[in-house]
Amino acid sequence: MNADRRPRANALPDMDRRRLLGAGCVAGTWLGLGLPTGAAAGSTFPDHVIRLVVPYSAGTGSDLLARTMAQGMSQRSHVNLVTENRDGGGSLIGTLEVIKAQPDGYTILMAANPTAIVPTQYKQPPYDPTKDLTPLVKVAVIPLVLVASAALPVSNVKELIAYAKAHPGKLSYGSSGPGTISQQQMEIFKQAVGVDILEIPYKSTAQAMTDVIAGTLSLFPVVVSSVAPHIKSGRAKGLAVFDVSRSSLLPDVPAVSEEVSVAGYVPTPVWYGFVGPAKTPPEVVNTLANLIRSAMDTPDAKSRLASLGARQIDVGHDQFAVDIKTEYEKAVALAKRQGVFR
């Protein structure tokens, strides 16, 4: 090979170089970001494009947040992040792609509750979220709000529980199907308060909300940003937020913990975080986590979180691992009770 045509060490592939130029990547510096020494300029990580896999379709809340984060991370570093949607299987396809990737930090996943829940829907789980992934940092939570038809003769959760006990099996709730946070939250809620409410799976939030507004569906647990306008207009009722505190988008709707006090019952909001493949080196985990935290401080990220009704958090590797394990164990227990293995 002619020496003049031999690739230079650390040179980016042509495709990556075009992506960097096309994205208008802002050259930054690692200095001042509080990153570990090994992440400083001239180190081996990162020195080329990082893939951020989003296991959901374009335009979803997860996708919008991921793209905002990718832009912020690109602006705060000397590399670009390319967001790739790999939806399918309720997040399974994209998650498996990251699990099979090299644990070098160059392929990471935008994770959420289904990351821990989906494998419990299989008799032979396709992966173990507590062993096959490396938590980086959890960055935000968005609560579900329990929406009720305006025709339903209840105005709060206490009245809902009394009505459901007086009319067992009469009420219905919409869910996104097995392995989703909407189903998990409602089934755990039903068990905690002892009510019989029929689940009806829906293919889309829009379809479920259409039926709630029409009065043919009693209840629907959905992220606050998707339903706040309907509640404010009076076309539907907001009974409670599945969280320990109220939502900034719906300050008049109480948290379910204000309405229900049952030993062992803790509502779980939708959470978002970043994970990599198992065996990602600790120094790479620290570098990525600090870069993500830096991106979370950008005005764009804060604005996006506010528009989604999200609450910013900062949960590091160790606690994030505990949280994933806890959610996985709850989902396993629920799946066994329901017998929903495929």
Q: Which residue has the higher pLDDT, 38 or 92?
A: 92
Please say if the pLDDT value at position 109 is more than 80.
yes
Spell out the SS3 assignment of the chain. CCHHHCCCCCCCCHHHHHHHHHCCCCCCCCCCCCCCHHHCCCCCCCCCCEEEEECCCCCCHHHHHHHHHHHHHHHCCCCCEEEEECCCHHHHHHHHHHHCCCCCCCEEEEEEHHHHHHHHHCCCCCCCCCCCEEEEEEEEEECEEEEEECCCCCCCHHHHHHHHHHCCCCCEEEECCCCCHHHHHHHHHHHHHCCCCEEEECCCHHHHHHHHHHCCCCEEEEEHHHHHHHHHHCCEEEEEEECCCCCCCCCCCCEHHHHCCCCCCCCCCEEEEEEEECCCCHHHHHHHHHHHHHHHCCHHHHHHHHHHCCEEEEECHHHHHHHHHHHHHHHHHHHHHHCCCC
pLDDT of residue 187: 92
168-176 mean pLDDT: 93
Q: Which amino acid is present at 143?
A: P
Q: Which residue has the higher pLDDT, 28 or 285?
A: 285
pLDDT of residue 237: 96
On average, the pLDDT of the chain sits at 85
pLDDT of residue 107: 98
pLDDT of residue 268: 86
Q: Return the minimum-mean-pLDDT range out of 2-16, 218-232, 313-327.
A: 2-16
Q: Return the minimum-mean-pLDDT range out of 240-254, 276-290, 314-328.
A: 240-254
Please say if the pLDDT value at position 246 is more than 50.
yes
pLDDT in tens, 132-170: 999 999 999 998 999 999 999 999 999 999 999 999 999
Range with top average pLDDT, 45-49, 71-75, 304-308: 45-49
Please say if the pLDDT value at position 243 is more than 50.
yes
What domains are there in the chain, each with its CATH number?
A: 27-140+270-338 (3.40.190.150), 144-259 (3.40.190.10)
